[in-house]
């Protein structure tokens, strides 16, 4: 029987050289399916707010879920902790992450 270390090496090599991109052992397609299911099930993730200038009322809109067009999914790669930190900081400060009129929060 393989040792714990050998098992970890085997799993790492299997994931690393797999034809599908993995993130923490999660296949990207399965991650998309999970996100799609959550957005489809919960209206709060499809809700936008918009100020109606004619009535001076803040209106709430619940949109139908449009698979693959509801959200943007970007895969980033980092070689080290410094690159990871840069990617995270860029995402945190991105204006695209918070647009109430498009339902992005």
Complete DSSP assignment for 54-66: TTTEEEEEEPPP-
Task: Of 73, 67, 75, 74, give the one whose Cα is nearest residue 36.
Answer: 67
Task: Give the mean pLDDT per block of 10 residues along the chain (105 residues).
Answer: 78 65 64 86 86 88 75 78 88 71 60
Can you read off the two tokens belonging to residue 81?
Answer: 């902790």
Domain residue limits, the chain: 1-41, 46-105
Question: Whole-model pTM?
Answer: 0.52
What DSSP character marks residue 99? B
């Amino acid at each position: 029987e393989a040792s714990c270390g050998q098992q970890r090496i085997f799993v790492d090599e299997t994931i690393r050289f797999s034809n599908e991109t993995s993130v923490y052992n999660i296949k990207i397609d399965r991650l998309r399916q999970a996100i799609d299911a959550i957005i489809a099930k919960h209206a709060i993730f499809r809700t936008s707010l918009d100020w109606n200038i004619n009535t001076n009322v803040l209106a709430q809109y619940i949109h139908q879920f449009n698979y693959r067009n509801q959200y943007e999914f970007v895969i980033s790669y980092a070689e080290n902790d410094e690159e990871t930190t840069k990617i995270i900081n860029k995402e945190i400060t991105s204006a695209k992450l918070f647009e109430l009129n498009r339902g992005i929060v």
